[in-house]
Every structure is written in C-alpha cells, then in structure tokens.
C-alpha cells in the first residue's frame, strides 16, 4: 500500500516548444516519451515559466541584464505559438486497495492539456485557480507514469506600445492573469507573459475519503482570555459504498526542546454517502488564555499546529491535513479623527508602516528559500504590513507562511488595476476581464487557499480601481463578515449563547476579514478613489514632516528613489551601463540628471526634482567622480530619504495618520527605483534608514521643527527614561551635549520632548553629526539610537568630501559560529580614535532586547502546505536559538589603523567569497546576508554590536569586508 500524503513533482521536467515537437500528447505519454534533454527538449523550470526555462538553458539571454530583454522576441510579434510549450516528466506510484491518486496543479498560466499515460484531460483557463484531477483509473499497473502538459499562453497577451506605459496596451486585462507582464514604470515587459506551470505540481494519495479545504476560525471573549477554535471541512467519498468515518482534530503547540503539548484531541463520527461530498463542522474547541499571534513589533508570533485526520472503518487512515494557525483577531474601521483606516490586532491599535509588494521574481522563479529571505528582510526593517498589489500575484502559501512566522500583516488584492481596467493611454476596458464568472471562480479559490493564515489581514478589490459592479457585488457578498466580526467592540458572551441563526464562522467563505473595494476607498487615500496616493519622487527630507505633505489619513502608496550599490550595477549591466548620469544645470540653479540609456531602460528615477524645488540629493555631497562615488552618495541619500519618510509619518501618528505603505520595498527585476534591496538581494542604505525609523520605540528629530520626539508604538508606558543628545563636528569634538532625564512616554503616542537648539547656538558648524540615544535610567540599556548628519538651513554636505581623508581607527572583535553552511558572526566594532567621553555612560550601546523582534534563527522552519501534506521533516515550530549546537570558530580581532579623531562615518559590511584570482569587476558577494545594522556611524569612543548571518555555497570560504566614508578600500576584517 502506498503511503498516504503528498509528493511534489518539482524536478526532472523537460520542456520543448510545441511547434518543434511532431508528436501528440498521447504518443509522448505512451510510445515516444522524450529520453532526456536532447533537441528539441531541454531541462525545464517547474514550477516556473517558459521564459525562465529558456533563460536557464541559454536559449535566450538574461532579460534582467543590461538591455538584453530587447533582444528577446515578444509574444505580440512571435505569436502565441512561440511560447506554447510542452512540459514532460515521469513519476512512480503504485496504488493498492481503495487508494486514490490526485494530480494537482496549484497554478497554470493560462490553460493546458494534460496527458497521463495516453489519456487526455483539459485544464480550463485562469491563472489563479487550482486544478485537481483524480487519475486513479489511468495509472500504469507497474507504477511508472508518463505525464505531458501542453501549456497555452494567455488569450490576450497584448502588444507593447512604442512608449511602453502601465500595462502596455492593456489587453492582458481581458484575462484573469498578472497585469504587470506588459510592462510598467518599474519593469520591462515579460516576453512570454508568464506562460507556464508557474506554481506547485504534486500528486496526493488518499484512501476512499479525501479532506478538502478546511477552514479554521478563532473567536474571542472576556478580553481575549477565552478563545474558541472553529473548523469546517469538506469530505469527499470516492468509493462506491457508504464510508463510516472517524474525524480527528488535534491542536498542539511546541514547548522548549522540541516537546509538543497537545491542547486538544477530539474525535467525531460521520457517515458519507457513496460518491458524494459533504461539509462537516467540528464542535468548537475551547482555549483559556492561549498564546496569541501578534504582528511584528507588537509581540510574539505564537502558532499552533492544527492536524485533521480521517479514518475510514474497514480501511484505516484515509487522509490528513495540517496547518499552522495563529489565534488573533484583526479589526479595522475608518477613524473619525483622521479619516484613515485604523487597524486593531487583538484589541490593540497598530500604526501601519509597511510596503508595497509586486512579486518575488518577474519570471516567477519562486522558492521557499527566497520567500524566507524576502519576508525576513521586511521584518528586519521593522515593517508590519505588506500590500500585495493588484497587478501582481495572489501570493502563494509559502509567502504567507513566512509572513505568519515573521509577523507581517498582508493586504491581498485581486487582479484589477486602474491602468488596465478603466484608464490609461490607450484607454483601457473598465469592465475588467471578459469572463466575470472565471474571475470570481479564481477569487473564491484563492480565498480558500489562503484564508487560514493569521497574517492575512484584508481583501481589496483592486489597485486604484473598483472591480466591475457585478464582480464587486459578488465579492462583497462572498466576503461579508460573520456577525462575530462585524462589531468593532468585542462581544462579551460566548458563542454558544448566540442566536441559532448565526452560522458557525468557519462555514463562511471567509467571514473574518474586511473586504475593501479598492486601494483608495474606504479609509485609504481620500476614501473616494481619487488620485491621492504618491508622490513617487525624491523629496526634501523635511517635507515629510510638514502638515501639508499629505492630506489624508492612510497613504497606500508613497515612493522615492532606490539606487543599488555599485557592485549590483556591474553585475547586472555591461560597462556602458556603468556611466553615471550627466548633471545639467536648469533654471533656478537646480540640477537635472541625464542617465545613460541602460539606466533609463531600467527605470532609473533621479535624485533631483527641479519642478518641485528639490536640489539634487547626490550633488549635495559634491559632484560624484565615478560609479562607486555616485552609488555611495546615493546610499547616503537613500538612508536620509526613507528614514525621513517614515519618521515624518510617525511624527503625526494618530493625530493625522493611521498608516503608510511605501511604494515599493522590493524589486522583481533589476530596476533602479523604489526598492530597499535589489533583485540580487543586497540591501540599499534605505533598508537601514527604514529599520531605524520604524522601531517600535524610537527617538527622532523632527526635521521641520527640530524638536526631539519619542515614539512609543507599544501598549506599555515607558517610564524613567532619558535622552542623550550629542553633536559632533568634523574635527571630532563635541560642541553640544545635553541629557534629558526622568522622562516618560505614554503608549501609542509620539511625544515632542525638547527643541534641539544647536543650529541656533553661537557659531554652529555648517555640517555636523547628531547622535540621539533613548535609554533606561536604571541600567543605561539603549531603547533607541539614531544618528544624523545635518547641515544648516540652505547649506549642503560638501564639507564631508574632504572629511573622507580622515583616518579614523577602528577595532573589530568577532566571534564566529558555524553550523553546516550557516555562519553567524557576532561583532563588536569600536571607534578607538579616543576614549569614550566621560560624560556619557551609553557609549557601549547595550541594546535592550524586545519581545518578538524576529532576530532568532528560523532556518529550521519550513512551510506547511494546505491540502494533503507530507509529514514535516523537522519540528515545524522550532525557534530554539542554535548557538548551543554551533561550532565556535574562535575570537578574532582586526584593527583599522588611523591617527585622526572623529566620527567613523557610514560604515558598511559586506560578505565575499575568497577567490585566488578573481576577474576584474567580478561580483564576489555572498548574498543574501542578514545584518543587525549596516551603513552605521560611530562617534569617538563609541562601540556597536553587529550580528551577521548568512549561508555559504559548498566549497566556498567567506570573508567579511568593511568600507565606509573614511574607508575607501575594502578592509578585510574577518
């Protein structure tokens, strides 16, 4: 008997263009299967797309490099047949008794014909729908099965107008598919329009009864002390006899040391008629004071493992399903004070600071490993929400799994965008896709796929547009809230006392999350759908703090620059792309940037905006000499820009704003705008400006008023705290030092403390450094540290250019822990240019740990997938800090010599592979790397702990290097 469970078919696939294969699907899966990657067949990327397969096999160049995308024929010019492809694989499976096998496709774009052992099945259209085929009767008796899939592109791939534009000619909007694929102002067109088997393929083996789409819901009472877990499942009896079933639901949580505590184990009995489907709702399970799931920055992301099994009398175990589930309640309403949508989690208001997400990779080369990095990056930036934009994907369960793990709330949109569904040039079709029933089928199936994830916060009809009236009405009805979740005030009586007319909430399609019809409606932007998101350009940093910068309570999109580091430019462009922009003087004394054609193709956004009176933020430091100088100065601007953006919004927390989402945090292509990390997964300095500004407890300088402010987004009052304010000049002296003691900061509030008066003092320096530290007076534990470089009003930073020649000594102590291929390095970095100032006791920067900060190692946590699942390979909730099992590689000390006294400015670590004879310009970086901080500065005597975590490829020796404003060459420090 074959083992019950799911097996992914994610390797061993071949692919070939359909016009190059002169065989039918029946022949391919019977008498003439391909024997290997010999022409016209090639190794295929599954899950993935046709274009991903062509790139892997070097049939076409890399569309992410330089302007190579222009050399790849577009589907509009080649015809759909050019990207119509066969995919082929084999699998072993031999059933016995009353076992059944389903062949599952979690996503195909756009339609397909499936052949298994000579038998044909047709998969209907729609990118966002699952397909499950019972193929039990057509399996080979010997267990060797041949599978071929002919995949057809979207019906309306469209044509790219000469000027490009948002969504090309908008034809793609007639299909239920991703809309970004015709190009946008941040990505070039995807030539195959993402045709392919783009998501998971699997086979699942069950007994006579199969579990389908369980729905888990929690309801809360008595101020979250009492919780009920509701569960409804569908059961399908595939046999020809009545199945007498025992249904088991088990809820467990993991304690220390891989010990699981079973909180509930309940068995129910049900009879299922032959050949039928039934819906079954378990009796609700009661929990007293469960561990709650909290968003990033509010507490721990506690998760329970819910397992459902079905045993059939006379057969045994027939099917099983498991899922990580978080007890939490998400509410939202339009705030009367601000007009913005206000979110609450477990009764606590949460100030939203998040980012807009397109998708992980433009060619849909999606993986658990990359998803983990993507989501951890967002948690590392202290963000608490990700918006999945309507022109991209309904994101995958793996994406949601890591959002559950790291505490990122998710705003999930359906596949409507204003540019493609109602406006644009040429004007697009306002009636959405041609097949409204298909759109709703995909929407309902997506809800079932994702609804059990605690991170999923709300559904939104579309981006800057409302779905067509009939679709919108259907979504409002399908996603209506259960009465338990309608009342913003928590109910006080348990659900068994509710009126009988109230169905169990798990019987709803969702019923627990609000549905908003569009991204600028009902508490977002002006709430009426007018164009009140943005802007998307460089700003004077102080603008973000001004009352008139943005007039509405919640901005769903505000964006800016995103230049990566020079190594990324060299790795993704030929030498002609390494030329920096020309700086051209325009009226008013401002500068306009003229980028090279490759940068322009990669959607570069300039660091100046003369029309809005914004001087070039790179030239403030002096005209850059070369690519390295330009990118370094761009990182300075990135840091200031995004820190000011979030600090400006937070300065008006609850008084003017309820939240903001940055456009955008990541990049599915090698674009040059709006990103905190590039497609190669190297962070910009904006990443760390954001990380600083979005701390749950934060000290900041209001750049408009020059008042020092304390931000407390937590639910606890801060008492007996102090702020240390020190100004440092370019000579390494401290002309201004103040300590403000015995302060308190109420919860959920931004509090102005005192004006920073140094600029108004006698003979202030034109360029200076400001260091703010918020700490506990009892033990000098640092709650927040914030370092600024500033110039006087009307000035610039050009005095920093000669400051580069200062030689500031550093001492770097490192301890390395190694486990397998994972390195964890604990560093202690000290500016030794003079002894710490005796007036301060905080120079060692003893940072206070905060609960649920996401800094524990999650390498051992793997997603648990909906559907019939494999047994998890390891403990799915393991969060044990792994230093106990790591090999300690010893303590090492590196020193960077220097004789000058001053601030060690803008230090940046990077990790590289050691190579004996590296080629000139070769990219030796090891990516991704997680840093506790980077692009940081140290005043004289100050020390900083830095933690670095990364994985190394087999056979590679890593080295850690340091660069900075005063450190021009890469200094090897480990």
Please, what are the domains in the chain?
Answer: 5-204 (2.60.120.260), 209-325 (2.60.40.10), 698-710+720-803 (2.60.40.10), 810-852+876-972 (2.60.40.10)
Please give the order of strands across the beta sheet that includes 514-516. Answer: 514-516, 456-460, 409-413, 385-388, 352-357, 659-663, 554-559
Q: Give the tokens for residue 562.
A: 């995103």
pLDDT higher at 487 or 468:
468
Q: Is the pLDDT of residue 358 over 60?
A: yes
pLDDT over 70 (residue 603): yes
Residue 861 clears pLDDT 70, i.e. is over it: no
- Looking at residues 489-501, what average pLDDT do you find? 45
Average pLDDT value for residue range 210-216: 98
Q: Is the confidence at residue 457, as pLDDT, over 70? A: yes
Write down the pLDDT at residue 257.
Answer: 63
In the chain, the percentage of residues whose pLDDT exceeds 70 is: 94
Distance CA 467, CA 169 (A): 19
How far apart CA 441 and CA 139 sit, in angstroms, is 29
Selection from 279, 271, 269, 210 nearest residue 238 by Cα: 210
Q: Answer whether 49's CB lies under 8 Å from 169's CB.
A: no
Average pLDDT, the chain: 93
pLDDT at 820: 94
What token pair was written down for 851?
């609960």
Helices and strands (H and E) in the chain: how many: 13, 46
Residues 457, 449: Cα–Cα separation, whole Å: 15
Structure tokens at 423: 């406006």
Convert the pLDDT of each residue in 293-333 to its tens digit.
Answer: 999 999 999 999 999 999 999 999 999 999 999 999 999 99
Strand segments (E) across 258-389:
260-272, 277-281, 285-288, 304-312, 316-325, 330-334, 341-345, 348-350, 352-357, 385-388
Which pLDDT does position 194 carry in this prediction?
A: 98
- The closest of 806, 808, 847, 812 to 830, measured between CA atoms, is 812
State the pLDDT confidence band at 918, using cuts at 50, 70 and 90: confident
Q: Is the pLDDT of residue 545 over 70?
A: yes
Q: How far apart are CA 456 and CA 99, in angstroms?
A: 35
Q: What is the C-alpha separation between 684 and 934, in angstroms, rounded?
A: 10
Average pLDDT estimate for 491-498: 44
Q: Alpha-carbon distance 219 to 486, whole Å? A: 12
Sequence-distant (6+) residues with CB within 8 A of 320 are: 4, 5, 211, 307, 308, 309, 310, 868, 869
For the record, the structure tokens of 583 come out as 């700086």
pLDDT, tens digit, 9 for 90 and up, residues 65-114? 999 999 999 999 999 999 999 999 999 999 988 999 999 999 999 999 99
Residue 433: pLDDT over 60: yes
Instruction: Judge if pTM exceeds 0.85.
Output: yes
- Label residue 850 by pLDDT band (50, 70, 90): low
515, two tokens: 């549905």
Cα separation, 408 vs 839, in Å, equals 40
Using a CB cutoff of 8 Å and minimum separation of 24, what contacts does 923-927 make? 923/567, 923/570, 923/571, 925/567, 925/680, 925/682, 926/950, 926/951, 926/952, 926/953, 926/956, 926/958, 927/680, 927/681, 927/682
The predicted-structure confidence for 57-67, as pLDDT tens digits, reads as follows 999 999 999 99
CB atoms within 10 A of CB 834: 13
Q: Which is more confidently placed, 500 or 780?
A: 780
Task: Return the pLDDT at 888.
Answer: 64
- Where residue 256 falls among pLDDT bands split at 50, 70, 90? low
Give the pLDDT of residue 851: 57
Is the pLDDT at 926 greater than 90, yes or no?
yes
Least confident of 83-92, 782-791, 860-869, 932-941: 860-869
pLDDT at 255: 75
Q: Which residue stretches of 479-548 are H helix?
A: 483-486
Q: What is the pLDDT of residues 697-708, one digit of tens each?
A: 999 999 999 999
DSSP secondary structure, 147-181, as one string: EEEEEE--S------TT--TTTTSGGGGSSS-SGG
Sign of CA dihedral 293, 295, 299, 301: positive
Write out the H or E segment, with its range, that includes residue 244: strand 243-254
Asked if 529 and 518 count as a contact pair (C-beta separation under 8 A), the reply is yes
Look at residue 842 in the predicted model and tell me its pLDDT: 83
* Residue (of 495, 522, 492) closest to 506 by Cα position: 495
Residues with catalytic roles: 464, 557
Q: What pLDDT, in 10s, does the model give residues 709-757?
A: 999 999 999 999 999 999 999 999 999 999 999 999 999 999 999 999 9
CA distance linking residue 48 with residue 155, whole number of Å: 19
Neighbours of 618 (CB within 10 A): 29
Mean pLDDT, residues 37-50 taken together: 97
Could you report the per-residue pLDDT of 790-822, keeping only the tens digit for each?
999 999 999 999 999 999 999 999 999 999 999
Better-predicted residue by pLDDT, 232 or 164: 232
Mean pLDDT of 346-360: 97
Please tell me the predicted confidence (pLDDT) of residue 643. Answer: 98
Kindly tell me if the per-residue pLDDT of 413 is higher than 60: yes
618 vs 256, higher pLDDT: 618
Q: What percent of the chain has pLDDT over 90?
A: 88
State residue 311's pLDDT score. 98
The DSSP string of 763-826 is S--SEEEEEEEEEETTT--EEEEEEEEEE-TT--STTHHHHTT----EEEEEEEEEETTEEEEE
Q: pLDDT band at residue 941, thresholds of 50, 70 and 90?
A: very high
- Position 880 confidence tier, pLDDT thresholds 50, 70, 90: very low
Cβ contacts of 102 within 8 Å, gap of 6 or more: 132, 133, 134, 135, 203, 204, 206, 210, 868
- Specify the higher pLDDT residue, 916 or 852: 916
pLDDT given for residue 720 in this prediction: 97
264 strand-pairing partners:
251
């Amino acid at each position: 008997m074959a083992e019950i469970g799911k097996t992914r078919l994610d390797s061993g696939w071949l692919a070939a263009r359909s016009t190059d294969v002169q065989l039918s699907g029946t022949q391919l899966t019977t008498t003439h299967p391909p024997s290997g990657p010999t022409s016209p067949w090639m190794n295929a990327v599954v899950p993935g797309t046709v274009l991903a397969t062509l790139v892997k096999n070097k049939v076409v160049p890399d569309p992410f490099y330089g302007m190579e995308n222009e050399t790849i024929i577009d589907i509009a010019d080649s015809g759909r047949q050019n990207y119509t492809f066969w995919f082929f694989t084999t699998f072993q499976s031999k059933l016995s008794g009353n076992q059944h096998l389903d062949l599952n496709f979690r996503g195909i774009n756009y339609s397909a014909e499936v052949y298994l052992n000579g038998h044909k099945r047709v998969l209907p259209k729609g990118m966002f729908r699952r397909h499950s085929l019972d193929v039990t009767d057509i399996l080979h008796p010997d267990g060797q099965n041949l599978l071929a899939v002919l995949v057809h592109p979207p019906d309306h791939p469209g044509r790219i107008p000469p000027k490009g534009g948002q969504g090309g000619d908008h034809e793609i909007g007639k299909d239920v598919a991703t809309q970004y694929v015709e190009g946008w102002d941040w990505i070039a067109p995807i030539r195959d329009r993402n045709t392919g088997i783009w998501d998971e393929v699997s086979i699942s083996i069950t007994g006579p009864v199969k579990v389908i789409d369980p729905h888990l819901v929690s309801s809360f009472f008595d101020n979250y002390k009492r919780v009920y877990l509701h569960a409804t499942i569908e059961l399908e009896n595939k046999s020809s006899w009545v199945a007498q079933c025992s249904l088991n639901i088990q809820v467990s949580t993991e304690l220390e040391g891989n010990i699981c505590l079973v909180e509930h184990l309940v068995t129910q009995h049900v009879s299922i008629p032959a050949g039928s489907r039934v819906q079954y709702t378990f009796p609700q399970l009661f929990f007293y004071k469960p561990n709650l799931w909290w968003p990033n920055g509010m507490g721990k992301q506690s998760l329970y493992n819910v397992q459902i099994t079905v045993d059939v009398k006379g057969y045994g175990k027939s099917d099983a399903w498991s899922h990580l589930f978080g007890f939490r309640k998400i509410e939202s309403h339009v705030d009367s004070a601000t007009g913005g949508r206000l979110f609450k989690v477990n009764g606590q208001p949460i100030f939203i600071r998040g980012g807009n997400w397109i998708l992980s990779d433009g060619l849909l080369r999606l993986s658990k490993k990359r998803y983990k990095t993507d989501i951890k990056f967002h948690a590392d930036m202290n963000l608490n929400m990700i918006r999945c934009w309507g022109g991209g994907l309904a994101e995958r369960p793996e994406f949601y799994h890591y959002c559950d793990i790291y505490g990122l709330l998710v705003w999930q949109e359906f596949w409507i965008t204003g540019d493609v569904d109602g406006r644009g040039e040429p004007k697009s079709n306002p009636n959405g896709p041609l097949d409204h029933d298909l759109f709703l089928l995909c929407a309902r199936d997506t809800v079932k796929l994702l609804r059990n994830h605690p991170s999923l916060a709300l559904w939104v009809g579309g981006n800057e547009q409302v779905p067509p009236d009939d679709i919108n009405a259907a979504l409002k009805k399908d996603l209506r809230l259960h009465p338990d979740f309608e009342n913003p005030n928590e109910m006080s009586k348990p659900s068994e006392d509710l009126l009988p007319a109230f169905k169990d909430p798990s019987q709803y399609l969702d019923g627990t999350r609000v549905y908003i019809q569009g991204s600028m409606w009902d508490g977002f932007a002006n709430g009426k759908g007018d164009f009140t998101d943005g802007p998307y350009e460089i700003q004077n940093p102080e603008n973000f703090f001004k009352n008139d910068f943005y007039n509405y309570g919640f901005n769903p999109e505000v964006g800016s620059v995103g230049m990566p580091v020079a190594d990324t430019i060299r790795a993704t462009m030929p030498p002609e792309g390494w030329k920096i922009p020309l700086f051209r003087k325009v009226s008013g004394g401002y500068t306009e940037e003229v980028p090279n054609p490759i940068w322009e193709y990669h959607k570069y956004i300039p660091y100046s905006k003369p029309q809005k009176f914004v001087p070039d933020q790179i030239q403030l430091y002096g005209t850059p000499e070369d690519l390295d100088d330009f990118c370094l100065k761009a990182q300075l601007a990135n840091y200031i820009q995004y820190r000011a953006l979030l600090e400006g919004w937070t300065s008006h927390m609850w008084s003017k704003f309820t939240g903001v989402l940055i456009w955008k945090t990541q990049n599915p292509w090698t674009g040059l705008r709006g990103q905190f990390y590039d497609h190669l997964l190297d962070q910009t300095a904006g990443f760390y400006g954001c990380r600083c500004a979005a701390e749950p407890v934060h000290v900041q300088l209001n750049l408009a008023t020059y008042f020092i402010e304390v931000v407390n987004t937590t639910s606890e009052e801060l008492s007996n705290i102090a702020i240390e304010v020190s100004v440092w000049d370019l000579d390494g002296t401290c002309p201004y030092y103040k300590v403000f003691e015995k302060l308190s900061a109420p919860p959920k509030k931004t509090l102005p403390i005192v004006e920073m008066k140094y600029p108004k003092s006698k003979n202030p320096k034109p360029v200076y450094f400001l260091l703010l530290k918020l700490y506990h007076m009892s033990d000098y534990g640092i709650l927040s540290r914030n370092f600024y470089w500033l110039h006087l009003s009307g000035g610039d930073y050009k005095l920093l250019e000669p400051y580069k020649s200062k030689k500031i000594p550093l001492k770097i102590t490192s301890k390395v822990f190694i486990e397998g291929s994972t390195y964890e390095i604990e560093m202690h970095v000290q500016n030794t240019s003079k002894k710490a100032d005796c007036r301060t006791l905080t120079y060692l920067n003893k940072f206070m740990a905060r609960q649920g900060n996401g800094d524990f190692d999650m390498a051992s946590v793997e997603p648990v997938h909906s559907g019939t699942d494999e047994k998890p390979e390891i403990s799915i909730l393991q969060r044990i800090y792994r230093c106990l099992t790591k090999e300690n590689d010893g303590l090492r000390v590196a020193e960077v010599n220097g004789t000058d006294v001053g601030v060690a400015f803008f230090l940046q670590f990077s990790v590289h592979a050691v190579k004996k004879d590296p080629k000139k310009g070769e990219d030796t970086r090891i990516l991704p790397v997680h840093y506790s901080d980077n692009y940081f500065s140290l005043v004289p005597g100050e020390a900083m702990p830095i933690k670095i975590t990364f994985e190394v490829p087999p056979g590679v020796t890593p080295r850690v290097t340091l660069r900075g404003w005063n450190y021009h060459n890469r200094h090897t420090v480990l």
